[in-house]
Each structure stands twice: as C-alpha cells, then as structure tokens.
Structure 1
Amino acid sequence: MSPPVRATIGDRAAAPSALPPPTAGGLTWRPWTRADVPALTALVRAVQEADGRDWFTSADETAESFDAPVFDADADTLVGLDATGALLAYAWVERFPTDGVDLLRATLVGGVHPTRRGEGIGTQLLAWAMGRARQALAASDGDPRLAGLPARISVEVVDSDPPERRDLLRAGGFEPVRYYANLLRDLAAPVPAVGLEPPLRLVPWTDALEDATRLARNDAFRDHWGSQPRTPESWRAHRSSFAPGWSFVVVDESVRYPGSEHEQPGDLTVPPGTPYVVGLHRAGRYEHDWATQGYTAGYTELLGVRRAYRGRRIAVALLTHAMRVYADDGMQHAELDVDTDNPTGAPALYARLGYTKSDGSTLYAIEL
C-alpha cells in the first residue's frame, strides 16, 4: 500500500490573506529599521531582565539580524511605539534557507516591555507572528521540491521566563517538543589531556577551511533532531561573538577533497586538495554577559564529528583542548548548550568532563 500523500504546505499552513497589526495598548506599528538597533537592543534587554535572565542580546547581535540569509524587515518584523516614539514591543519571524532541507522552518522572536504587560499586546503580537510564519511557509508551495515537506513554527522559552509565556503559547496551539540544558564547567578543576592517533590532527580554525568545516558540520548533525544543512550564507551568519582563537578543527591527513560535489551534489565550495575536516569546535566570546553572569566563560557553540569518525575520541580531544585554551586566556568556566536527547550521547560525555547544568530552555512548536 502506498503511503498517504501529504497535503501541500500551502494547504497545511492555512495562511491568512492579511495581517492586521495589533490594536491592544494603543501603539503605532511599523517594521524594524537599522536605525532602531540601539533602541531595539534596549527594549530586548528590558524584556530579558524582566524575565529573570542574566545574559542578554547585544547591539551587535541585534544589528546582524538585518544581515541574516533570509530577512525581509518589511514583511517579517514589527515594532510598536507609543506617542513619544519609545519602542515598547517587537516581533521577528525568522526564516531559513531551503537548499537541501527536509523540513521547512520559521522561528518566532518577540516581547513586550514590562511596563506594558497585561494589556493584551503580547497575545495579539503572537497572533500576528504566527500568521506571518504561516504566510512565509505557504510561499514554498510553488516549489515542487518543498511543497510536500513537513514544516515547523517554533518558539524558544528559557526556564526563567514567566509561566504566562508558556500559557500564551499553549493557548496559541504550541506544544513543548524539545528540551535543552545549559552546562557549566569550572576551569579551576584539572582538564584531562586527550590526544589523537595519526592521521588525525587538531589544527586551528582558518578561513581556508571554512567550507570544509561547514560540510563536516552538516554531516555531523544530519542525525540530530531538527537540524538542517547550513548553506555558505547561513554558515557565516550570526558571527558577531565568534572567537576564532578558541575554535579548532580535526583533519584526517590521509584524505584530501577531490572537490565537495561528491559529498553534497551541487556544492562546489571546497576546492580539490583541501584537507578533509572530520571534527569541529566553534566557540563564542560573550563578553557583554560576564558582569551580569558573575563569571567569565568560553562558550562552545558547535561541537561535532562526522558520523564515520565517531568513537575515535575526536569530540573529547577538541573540547578538552578548548577548555585548556579558555583557561590559558583567563576564563573561569567553559559553557555550552546541549539537546538533552542528543543521539550521540553528548550529555554523558559532558558529565564525565565535569559539566553541570546551570539552566535550560524548552522549544515549543506547531508542526504542520
């Protein structure tokens, strides 16, 4: 018996034809502009502080949103202003490239200034963002490669966020689908030395290895829940806190690329002769959060190993090397975030290395 045919994303998204802005609170609504970055950053911080966070979105991170691979401020963003021109509410429907994907995605980001909560603004702003997400997903209906794919609208909720946020999402049809833990490791404790057997070698992160590293990441995360391949553009996006001196790769010196098209058809970004990257550690330096967090830290943003190379202690060699580099640079902690159901057993590895949970988050989603 043939499997049932999935309705196209145009039908499943049930996108509204129009998106009236919120009316609650008597605010005036318009799209974001780059000139909003300072005020928008201040608004986001006020929201995050009210939600009990000790880490915040920096002005650089706000600014780089405008350079995301898929970004249309006029269609995908909204900011609410009072009569004085003060920014008091915001929303962004973040969309993602669709090259090579098996899942269509839209992520919702937004908030209301703590002085204006309880007026119904957040409820209406979420409704607007959900409608825009459905429109964006439905736009893939005209592409036969994409029309039949599953789709997801998601929102991340941090453990410290108020319970009203979860209630609001559930009322809108969202359900918790995934849980993440933020982990800390005190670098005052000894860090084990872990070597690699030839032909594996740990080398610095370099521009010449960027695309080879991207392809290694795509292979490493192919079996991770919700992960989609990174394009050259999405791979280089959101790098305002990237710490190249804390980032490393492992190469197999017995292999050279004949050209990357053999690995991902149509991807010609890696020249023949490039070293073959089999593992990666990409780090971030979130210095703007250290004062409020009360500690300094090197943050592991990505740690991955090609599936064919797992079991050769590549991940632990990369992570322990990074921990020693963090400590040599005066950092007090190593930090990272992990999917609690990671299929590679990463949570157990981190526990063995002395990482403990500091906080966490939940992904809420509507599956289409």
Structure 2
Amino acid sequence: MTALPDNSLPWAGGLAFRPLADGDIDGWLALVERIAAAENAHWHETRSELATSFEDSVNPSAENTLAGFDADGVHRAYASVSKNPGAAVGYAFGGVDPQWQRRGIGAGMLFWQEDRLRARFASEGLPPGMVRSYTQEVNPAHTGLFAGAGYLPVRYFSEMARPLSGAPAVAVPSGIVLSLFTQALAEPVRLAHNEAFADHWGSEPRSVQQWGFLLKSENFRAAWSAVALDTRTGEVAGYQLSMYDPERFAKEGRQEGYTEILGVRRAWRGRGIASALLSDAMARYRAAGMEHACLDVDTENPTGALGLYEGMGYRPVRRTVAWEKHLGG
C-alpha cells in the first residue's frame, strides 16, 4: 500500500474510515467477537473495556482510534493506540473482520498507528520510541503482519492453569492478615501495585483513572480478591485481584477463576505472601463453583513468579507474544 500523508486515514479494501464514537460500541463489540471466534482466541475485550476508550482522558478516542466500515455501515476493522505521558513505549491494538482480511486493511491501519504514535512522541518533545503490540503465539495473520512490518518478538507470556481439586492450602505468614478487597482499599492497592510492578518488564504506573477502568470491568470479582495487610503497620503488603469470564466455559469446557493481578511489595517479598494469596484465591474460586484456577505470567519475570506458579501446580496452556518496533526506523 502506498504511504499516506501525515494525519490522513487509511484507504484499503473498500472501507471508509473514521474515529470511533460512543454509538459504535455494539458494532465494535460484535466485530471483536467475530475476530476472536475465527482465531479461537482465549480472550477478547469486554464491553466495559471497549467503553473505556471513550472515557480515557490520556488517549482521547477522537484522535487515537480508527474504525473501518463497509458500504452497508457494518464495522469491519478497528485500530487504537495508547501512550502514557513521558513513556518511551506506545501501544497498538486492532483487528480486521475475518471476511475482510488479506486486502491490505491490517497493513494500512498499522501504518496509521505508527504514524499516530510518532506524532504523540513529537507532541511531548520526545524522539520516536517503541511501538508494542501483543498476539497469540499461534496466530498466522497477526504474526505475518508484524513480521512483515519489521516487528520483532521480544517477550513471551504463558497462560497457566491448574485444577482446583487438590489445591494446596498455604498458611498466611506471621504478621500478615488477608482481607477481602473493598473499595476502601482500592487506592492503597493501586499505590502498592505501582510500587510492586516497578521492576517488571513492560509495566507502567497506573493512574487513578486507569485503575478505575480495571475495577469497573464486568468480569472483576471483588469477592474473589484479597489484600495482604501488615498487622503492625496496616500497610498493603500484597494483593490479588480476580476475574471471571462467563464465556470461558464455552471456549475451554471448564469454569475458571482468573488471577488478573498478583503482587507483593519488595519489603515483604520472600515471606510466602504470594503463595498464601494464591491459595486463598483458589479456595474462593472453589467455593464459587469453579473447577480451575488460571493466570498469566511473564516467562522472564524478575521475581521468579514462573517457578512460584509451577510450584503451586499451575501448568502452561498457551503463550502470548509481545512484539516491538522502533519508530525511528
């Protein structure tokens, strides 16, 4: 496809492009679901996650989203970019309706995403940085698109699962008490998360708004989530936040509780808090009628999380790949 002038929208495959708007959410979700079904994806964005695009004050949808519509007004492609102020990395997400692939649409949108992120860097007085995106390891369409556009795989994340039958019971360490997650703990846990993940690859501090988006997800389960508190100081030592995807049974044939985020602050590491939180989560999942526990892990996690999960009986199911490209050429 011929390169487009700055700030122009792609033309490819006979689609008309414009930014996403509030009224597009039903068609957008239907498109996301069609793509996920065709790719046998183990997850896809929920309605609430898509809705955050229209609330995100850092990445306004009018400037950072793109939608492609056919002649009948059906949503056939989408792209979005996001970037935190001052960050050296921007993110690109998107997809094309399975019936409209192999027409240059994905390449056109990727060109637009890269161009938009270059503009974001420039607006902050920064040199061009990295663009990052994620795909399932087994996804020929996305893999081919990124490889052909000069992206390189830089990190692998494993989805891991274990049956809840025979789940280990781990005692809570001395000086720690596990408390049910409540809204009163939301901000202390956010701050603890930003500290705990400061040494994790690809992690950036979450703003109050971004944290609120997570907690507003229809899949979030506060009753399955817990916070480890230091009994002497009352500080948050660790936490685990859990999710439940009601579509998982149809996809996987099992009911799963999912640990979305697990973290322990540095000063409290090495005391078995993470194991106790996972054990507590599994007990909560089992009490809710779940059959399996599931989570994701960076295979090169600096805290040794992969070994911890394996020791708790989790086994790899599939992998996700992080791809990167430097926008400076």
Superposition TM-score tier, normalisation by shorter sequence: over 0.9
Partner of 1:81: 69
**1:69 to partner: Cα distance:** 4.5
- Residues 11 and 17, structure 2, Cα contact 8 Å, conserved in 1: no
Partner of 2:157: 180
**1:178 to partner: Cα distance:** 0.8
Match of 1:67 among 55, 79, 82: 55
Paired with 1:118 and 1:291, the residues of 2 have a C-alpha distance of: 29
Question: What secondary structure sits across from 2:200 in the alignment?
Answer: coil
Partner of 2:113: 129
**1:87 to partner: Cα distance:** 0.9
Larger Rg: 1
**1:68 to partner: Cα distance:** 3.0
Paired with 1:358 and 1:213, the residues of 2 have a C-alpha distance of: 29
Partner of 2:290: 331
**What letter corresponds to residue 25 of structure 2 in structure 1?**
V
Match of 1:107 among 91, 99, 107: 91
- Residues 256 and 294, structure 2, Cα contact 8 Å, conserved in 1: yes
Match of 1:305 among 257, 264, 277: 264
**1:307 to partner: Cα distance:** 0.6
**Unaligned 5+ residue runs, structure 1?**
1-15, 142-146, 256-274
Give the alignment of 1:263-282 within 5 angstroms.
275-282=234-241
Match of 2:200 among 220, 224, 229: 224
**1:279 to partner: Cα distance:** 0.5
Match of 2:189 among 210, 213, 232: 213
- Residues 53 and 61, structure 2, Cα contact 8 Å, conserved in 1: no
Superposed CA offset, 1:82-125 (max 9, x none): 111111111111233x3xx6x33321111111111111111111
Superposed CA offset, 1:304-352 (max 9, x none): 1111111110100111011011001100111101000001111111111
Q: TM-score scaled by structure 1?
A: 0.83
Match of 1:233 among 196, 199, 209: 209
Partner of 2:146: 169
Partner of 1:95: 83
Partner of 2:231: 253
Residue 329 to residue 67, structure 1, CA distance change in 2 (3 Å): same
Residue 220 to residue 63, structure 1, CA distance change in 2 (3 Å): same
Paired with 2:63 and 2:296, the residues of 1 have a C-alpha distance of: 31
**1:230 to partner: Cα distance:** 1.8
Partner of 1:158: 136
**What letter corresponds to residue 137 of structure 2 in structure 1?**
D
Partner of 1:48: 36
Question: Which moved further from structure 2: 239-248 or 61-70?
Answer: 61-70
Aligned alpha-carbon RMSD (Å): 1.8
Question: What secondary structure sits across from 1:24 in the alignment?
Answer: coil
- Residues 65 and 238, structure 1, Cα contact 8 Å, conserved in 2: no
Partner of 1:364: 323
Off by >6 Å, runs of 4+ in structure 1? none
Partner of 2:179: 203
- Residues 244 and 282, structure 1, Cα contact 8 Å, conserved in 2: yes
**What letter corresponds to residue 89 of structure 2 in structure 1?**
R
Q: TM-score scaled by structure 2?
A: 0.92
**1:52 to partner: Cα distance:** 2.3
- Residues 278 and 305, structure 1, Cα contact 8 Å, conserved in 2: yes
- Residues 39 and 139, structure 2, Cα contact 8 Å, conserved in 1: yes
Question: Which moved further from structure 2: 181-190 or 66-75?
Answer: 66-75
Superposed CA offset, 1:212-243 (max 9, x none): 11121112111111212222222222331211
Partner of 1:264: none
Partner of 1:267: none
**1:174 to partner: Cα distance:** 1.4
- Residues 52 and 160, structure 1, Cα contact 8 Å, conserved in 2: no
Question: What secondary structure sits across from 1:118 in the alignment?
Answer: coil
- Residues 105 and 137, structure 1, Cα contact 8 Å, conserved in 2: no
- Residues 79 and 87, structure 1, Cα contact 8 Å, conserved in 2: yes
Aligned-pair identity (%): 37
**1:60 to partner: Cα distance:** 2.7
- Residues 170 and 275, structure 2, Cα contact 8 Å, conserved in 1: no
Residue 69 to residue 187, structure 1, CA distance change in 2 (3 Å): farther
**1:137 to partner: Cα distance:** 2.0
- Residues 284 and 301, structure 1, Cα contact 8 Å, conserved in 2: yes
Paired with 2:143 and 2:247, the residues of 1 have a C-alpha distance of: 28
